[in-house]
Amino acid sequence: MVSIDISVIIPIYNVEAYVETCLHSVMEQGHSDFKVECIIIDDCGQDKSMDIVYRTLESYSGDIEFKIIEHDNNQGLSTARNTAIRVARGKYVTFLDSDDKLLPDALDGMFKLTIKYPEVDIIQGNIQLNKENKYLRSVLEISKEKLPEYIPNRQEAKHILLSDLPVTAWAKLIRRDFIISNDLYFIEGMVHEDDMWELCASQYIETIAFFFPYVYYYNNDITNSITQKADKTRSLLGRISLISRAAKYYKEEPCIDYYDYLARRLDFINKSEIWASVENRKIVRRSISEMRSNIAKYNCPFPLRLAASYFALPNSIGSNRYILSVFRRFSGLLKRYYIRKLTNV
């Protein structure tokens, strides 16, 4: 059996307008010095995405190995990725959303760093936006003025993972053994699965490298994405789960990075405002209660206790528009206070 260096993982679900471009971006990758496979997961969409996939692959004559795995029913992004991880043969895996694309020579550029740094766990590439957005650019782009090419120190790599890496599964080359040996599969059924993956990966990261040219083209103006959905129940549940997990990690290994991650990267104060868009408040209230119990159980310091209290506040004030307005205005002041306390912990 031919040894594979990189497995490109593409879940497919209702992306008929984008999937052909996505596949061509893989087919056109330069890879003379390494072997590539592309694993496509059919997650049972309702459009003609898979018809386009089969038609596109029929016309391909290169040496990238394409494999299609069909789910029996729609199981979601995390499950699709996990399915592919388990069957992947590559030493490294990279995730590609089917409404985005790889930029030319992305794989070649990142793979060269695996030769230069053979022990690297994760290589982070740069991300190009389809539509200019200053905020997204600030959290997704990496800069060689701020970051070194390689970090071999565990504590520094952990800090960088939680503070400076884009919170995305894509635009990364990840050593498959790093995922398998540490059981770093994506949590199934949750929103913000990429955020949770990075939080969990921070427990095991030893080394990280950066490839500063653009490798990934992100379609950030698609209106039917999960972040645009009106009901924010699952989104808020995902954020609450992250605080609970951070509390557990703090108890196991006290480290400012866990609540620094929540404050600065997840921006929990602004996210808590989505309470007004939550439809299933019963399940959210139960999750909030469990979160606050975890915070108390692990005797977490002030910043995490504040995070838990702030997330719980909308539950107390309900949907009164006047109170919510005051709540939003208060958030800026509270956030500044939180950051000041954070620096003194």
* Strand residue runs (E) in 61-196: 65-70, 90-95, 101-102, 122-129, 150-151, 172-175
Average model confidence (pLDDT) across the chain? 86
Q: Which residue has the tokens 């936006």?
A: 129
Q: Confidence class of residue 345 from pLDDT cuts 50, 70 and 90? A: very low
Q: Give the per-residue pLDDT at 228.
A: 53
- Per mean pLDDT, which range of 115-124, 257-266, 294-303 is the poorest? 257-266
Q: Confidence class of residue 156 from pLDDT cuts 50, 70 and 90? A: very high
Nearest-10 crossing angle of helices 233-252, 193-201:
10
Q: Give the per-residue pLDDT at 285.
A: 83
Say whether pLDDT at 48 is over 70: yes
Q: Do the Cβ atoms of 263 and 242 come closer than 8 Å?
A: no
Say whether pLDDT at 28 is over 60: yes
Strands 90-95 and 4-12: parallel
- Per mean pLDDT, which range of 128-137, 171-180, 269-278, 292-301 is the poorest? 269-278
**DSSP 8-state class, residue 170:** B
How many angstroms separate the CA atoms of 47 and 15, rounded? 8
How many angstroms separate the CA atoms of 259 and 250, rounded? 8
Domains and CATH numbers, the chain: 4-218 (3.90.550.10), 229-343 (no CATH)
Say whether pLDDT at 37 is over 90: yes
How many angstroms separate the CA atoms of 211 and 106, rounded? 9
Range of 32-46, 262-276, 289-303, 326-340 with top mean pLDDT: 32-46
- Per mean pLDDT, which range of 77-91, 97-111, 218-232, 279-293 is the poorest? 218-232
Say whether pLDDT at 158 is over 50: yes
Range of 84-98, 228-242, 327-341 with top mean pLDDT: 84-98
Say whether pLDDT at 58 is over 80: yes
Tens of pLDDT, residue by residue over 173-194, are 999 999 999 999 999 988 889 9
Q: Give the per-residue pLDDT at 72.
A: 95
How many angstroms separate the CA atoms of 160 and 207, rounded? 10
* Strand residue runs (E) in the chain: 4-12, 36-42, 65-70, 90-95, 101-102, 122-129, 150-151, 172-175, 208-218
Report the share of the chain in percent with pLDDT over 70.
80
* Mean pLDDT of the 153-165 span: 91
Q: Confidence class of residue 329 from pLDDT cuts 50, 70 and 90? A: low
Q: How far does the chain reach from its first CA to its final CA, in angstroms?
A: 54
* Mean pLDDT of the 206-224 span: 91
Q: What are phi and psi of 41, to 5 degrees?
A: -105, 115
Report the share of the chain in percent with pLDDT over 90.
58
Q: Confidence class of residue 201 from pLDDT cuts 50, 70 and 90? A: very high
How many angstroms separate the CA atoms of 83 and 100, rounded? 20
59's CB contacts (< 8 A; 6+ apart) are none
- Per mean pLDDT, which range of 68-72, 301-305, 316-320 is the poorest? 316-320
Tens of pLDDT, residue by residue over 241-277, are 888 888 888 778 777 677 667 666 555 555 555 666 7
Q: Give the per-residue pLDDT at 40.
A: 98
How many angstroms separate the CA atoms of 185 and 83, rounded? 10
Nearest 5 degrees, angle CA 228-CA 231-CA 234? 95
The region that residue 140 occupies, defined by phi over 0 for left and psi between -120 and 50 for alpha, beta otherwise, is alpha
Range of 67-81, 150-164, 234-248, 324-338 with top mean pLDDT: 67-81
Say whether pLDDT at 110 is over 90: yes
Q: Give the per-residue pLDDT at 270.
A: 56
Q: Do the Cβ atoms of 49 and 83 come closer than 8 Å?
A: no
Residue 321: C-alpha distances to residues 12, 75, 229, 273, 317 (Å): 40, 37, 21, 12, 10
Q: Give the per-residue pLDDT at 291.
A: 83
How many angstroms separate the CA atoms of 119 and 117, rounded? 6
Strands 122-129 and 208-218: parallel
